[in-house]
Structure 1
Amino acid sequence: MITGKEERPKVVTDLPGPEGKRIIAEDEKYLATTTKAIPAVVKEAKGIVFEDVDGNKFFDFASGIGVINTGHCHPTIVNAIREQAEKVIHFAGTDFYYDIQVRLAKRLTEITPGSFEKKVYYGNSGAEAVEAAVKLARWSTKRKFILAFMGAFHGRTMGALGLTASKIIHKQNFFPWMPGVVHAPYPNPYRNVFGIDGYDEPEELVGRVMGYIEEMFKRYVPPDEVAAIFVESLQGEGGYIVPPPTFLKELRKLADEYGIILVDDEIQSG
């Protein structure tokens, strides 16, 4: 049990413990998944600490894959969920109007940067949001091509998979992917295709990447047929890569020059 009083990691069994092994065996038997790699079976969590089914306690440095920014089971959030569940658990927001949806959307537009009109789209996952962004970009521009970057992860559904280029295992045996997607090098300061030390020469690295894109536009991707550029401002699965500071500014200039929509996928960096 987690008391919340200066809880610290504590291991009392082999990992995984006997109950954990039993549940993992049943998981492997009944669940269709290829993603689990950490043999921890969570029982409860509070703050930064989670306890497994065998009584072992750990710090959650993954923060629920980056979505538990207030810690697990923060009392304010728990109370808000409880209060809402006592009123309405689910309503079809695509068919009916609901005040909470509107209020949340309004608040999100207020706290996000930029002095322009904004709208909110609610999605169930990152891949779904990417798919919606692709559709919106192609529909609104009437253009065909999408530009993404090597090392990118935008999801594993069939449309988003076309943009993803982080690991070949994601794409193996799923060809043909979504047509019209091209990839450019990402300005990884440490490992990049140009052999440049991006820490010593960040502007040179950014210049090479932008030059590569311009060369694509000259040779085989007409810029007036590019609907959107999808980019992770900080690459996630590609290696948690921080590009040089001027990269996004230069990308913004390029997109504006050719009337291309710039989509910043912050699903992992948030």
Structure 2
Amino acid sequence: MPKELASSPPLITTELPGPNSARLIAEDERYTSPSYTRVYPLVVRRAQGAMIEDMDGNRFLDFTAGIAVCATGHCHPRVVQAIREQSERLLHMSGTDFYYQPQSDLARKLVQITPGNGPKRVFFTNSGAESVEAAFKLARYHTRRPHVIAFFGAFHGRTMGALSLTGSKTRQRAGFAPLVPEVSHVDFPDCYQCPRRTTNDSCCWKTFEQIEDDLFRRTVSPDEVAAFFVEPIQGEGGYIVPPHDFHVRLKRLAEQHGILFIADEV
């Protein structure tokens, strides 16, 4: 790929979408599932660094970065080289049938760099929703408890179990009931825009009153709760950063009752 794209400035040469992009969009809408919603009429032809070029030669500065997946930019030379070398050795793997050195190497590296001093294991998945589904099943299986607690504003995915935890928008859940039972939602603390419409910072700690006073005393005993599912920082909920010690206090509450603390940071 030409190196000049990464250092080229944004450039608009046609109306948007351009004629080539418009033709492909029309074809895509004819053959592709309407469940794929696109935010912009952008048809990407190539990308490098932080720059994207469409089918008509228009160039854009990419602020999405693959929803933060492209941390090294598009088509970083070292990433491209690693993919090229691996594709020449092996393209398909069956990790549930055989052993592969890259998989073991990556598992070891992830164990080394993730926080915590206790024993760790790695379970590889294809997506965030699949990761949440696996954690959901593991939490119930390990604890032998049925109930889980998630947060309003959370997005955990759209598969059935993950969707049951998702509490960001009604349109995510509409039409799919009944969802997985034994799921409760509580407020995620937001001291900037308090969900309880108060100006006192102490309202951020009303979450724990909801859990301990409302849920644990009136709805579900803590010894029936398998896990808390929580995003360290809510994304779809509005990029909400909770108070500094919120997760510490939630983890302490979980340990007090033998509840698993599951951080969805995908």
Give me the TM-score of the superposition, normalised by structure 2: 0.96
RMSD: 1.2
Give matches, 1:170-181, under 5 Å. 170-181=172-183
Q: CA deviation at 1:4?
A: 3.9
Q: CA deviation at 1:90?
A: 1.1
Q: 2: distance between equivalents of 1:38 and 1:193?
A: 31
**Matching residue of 2:241:** 242
**Matching residue of 1:78:** 80
Give the unaligned 5+ runs of structure 1. Answer: none
**Matching residue of 1:31:** 32
Give 2:263's aligned amino acid.
Answer: D
CA offsets per residue over residues 4-30 of structure 1, 9 Å max, x none? 463111000001100111111111111
Give matches, 1:19-98, under 5 Å. 19-32=20-33, 33-98=35-100
Question: In the comparison of the two structures, how many residue pairs are matched?
Answer: 263
**Matching residue of 1:207:** 205
Alpha-carbon contact 1:49-1:58 (below 8 Å) kept: yes
**Matching residue of 1:18:** 19
CA offsets per residue over residues 104-131 of structure 1, 9 Å max, x none? 0000010111111111111011100000
- 1:157 paired to 2:155: no
* Structure 1 pair 183–22 and aligned structure 2 pair: CA distance change class (3 A): same
Runs of 4+ in 1 over 6 A off after TM superposition: none
Q: 2: distance between equivalents of 1:6 and 1:100?
A: 33
Give me the TM-score of the superposition, normalised by structure 1: 0.95
Q: 1: distance between equivalents of 2:253 and 2:58?
A: 52
Give matches, 1:215-234, under 5 Å. 215=213, 216-234=215-233
**Matching residue of 1:138:** 140
CA offsets per residue over residues 52-108 of structure 1, 9 Å max, x none? 000000011111111000000000000000000000011100111111100000000
Alpha-carbon contact 2:190-2:204 (below 8 Å) kept: no
Give the unaligned 5+ runs of structure 2. Answer: none
Q: CA deviation at 1:212?
A: 1.1
3-state DSSP class of the match of 2:89? coil
Give 2:261's aligned amino acid.
Answer: L
3-state DSSP class of the match of 1:3? helix
Q: CA deviation at 1:193?
A: 2.7
Give 1:205's aligned amino acid.
Answer: C
**Matching residue of 1:110:** 112
Q: 1: distance between equivalents of 2:6 and 2:31?
A: 37
3-state DSSP class of the match of 2:134? helix
Q: CA deviation at 1:214?
A: 0.3
Q: CA deviation at 1:156?
A: 0.4
CA offsets per residue over residues 38-60 of structure 1, 9 Å max, x none? 11000000000010000000011
Q: CA deviation at 1:2?
A: 6.0
Q: 1: distance between equivalents of 2:110 and 2:235?
A: 23
